Amino acid sequence: MSKLSRSLLAALALCSCQPALAAPLEARASYVLTLGGINIAAMNVDLQDSAGRYRMDLSANVAGLGTLVASGTAKATSTGRSNGQGLVSDKFDLETRAQGETFTVDVSFLGRNVTAFRVEPPILDNYDRVPIERRHLNGVGDFLSAFVLRGNGLDKGLCQRRATIFTGVERFNVAMNYASTDEATSPRTGYQGPVIACSVRYEPISGHFTSSEITSYLAESERIIIWYAPLGESGYFIPYRVLIGTNMGDLSMVLTNLRQ
């Protein structure tokens, strides 16, 4: 799996909960990703929710950063049901293109259980790759449907949750806890108002390589933070900012525009 794919998955491996929307929702959130203060990608996330069905579409253009991050594109789609417990994936697709190579993932779910998945080109099961077991594919969702939260407001309870995620390549958990309440004031961002910060812990389960420095770093990191902002009165909460500390500088994702 390319560094481009892993960086996007890391940045987006966030979390998901509140009743189905009373009215249809259509929104677009635009983000800029930086590494060490240097812009490396621009990303749009489109969200639709109507009659208990949701669709999320992500598209990203990665400018790259020398040998650290390859330039390319990424797009992903998640569809499924929205209910009082959050978002339940039916289908997840991912495609990245970088350095003349294309990488695709297709995952099908039925009630939070994986029914089928395909990865092209296939990931080689080297000696240091942790095997994905059948039990790891039950009670999971995709990382894109975990990109937003559902809740009743910006209170501490919004952060107290745990997501179990299968990307088609790796199975991991993301545990969130309340960190602080803050105010977004910058006029250069897509939202000004109250936000809540959630600390994040990443727990690899299977599909990863034990020799992977990125996996080890994320698992040991105590500096992964997501600031959430309300998406109007919809009951959805979306990332305003994501911060992942790395030895190459902070990997940061910031909301630059919001249309709904």
DSSP secondary structure string for all residues of 80-114: EEEETTEEEEEEEEEEEEETTEEEEEEEEEETTEE
Tokens in use for 158?
A: 């919004």
Q: Where are the domains of the chain?
A: 3-259
Predicted pLDDT of residue 16: 35
- pLDDT tens figures, 125-160: 888 999 999 999 999 999 998 878 888 889 999 999
Question: The whole model's pTM is what?
Answer: 0.86
Q: Is 52 left (phi over 0), alpha (psi -120 to 50) or beta?
A: left
Predicted pLDDT of residue 42: 94
Alpha carbon distance 128, 30 (integer Å) = 37
Alpha carbon distance 77, 81 (integer Å) = 14
Residues in the chain: 260
Predicted pLDDT of residue 5: 47
Residue 103: CB partners within 8 Å, gap ≥ 6?
1, 2, 5, 94, 95, 96, 97, 119, 120, 121
Predicted pLDDT of residue 196: 96
Neighbours of 102 (CB within 10 A): 12
For residue 12, which of 200, 235, 232 has the smallest C-alpha distance? 200
Predicted pLDDT of residue 194: 97
Alpha carbon distance 177, 225 (integer Å) = 10
Phi, psi of 54 (to 5 degrees): -125, 160
For residue 181, which of 148, 153, 152, 201 has the smallest C-alpha distance? 153
Predicted pLDDT of residue 93: 97
Predicted pLDDT of residue 162: 92
Give the residue ranges of the chain where pLDDT is below 50.
2-5, 7-10, 12-22, 67
For residue 94, which of 151, 125, 67, 56 has the smallest C-alpha distance? 56
Tokens in use for 234?
A: 């919809």
Q: Which residues of 240-252 are buried (b: 16+ CB within 10 A; e: fewer)?
A: bbbbbebeeeebb
- pLDDT tens figures, 87-110: 899 999 999 998 889 999 999 999
Q: Which residues of 10-48 are buried (b: 16+ CB within 10 A; e: fewer)?
A: bbbbbbbbbebbeeebebebbbbbbbeeeebbebbbbbe
Sign of CA dihedral 36, 37, 41, 44: positive
Paired sense of beta strands 149-150 and 236-244, if any: antiparallel
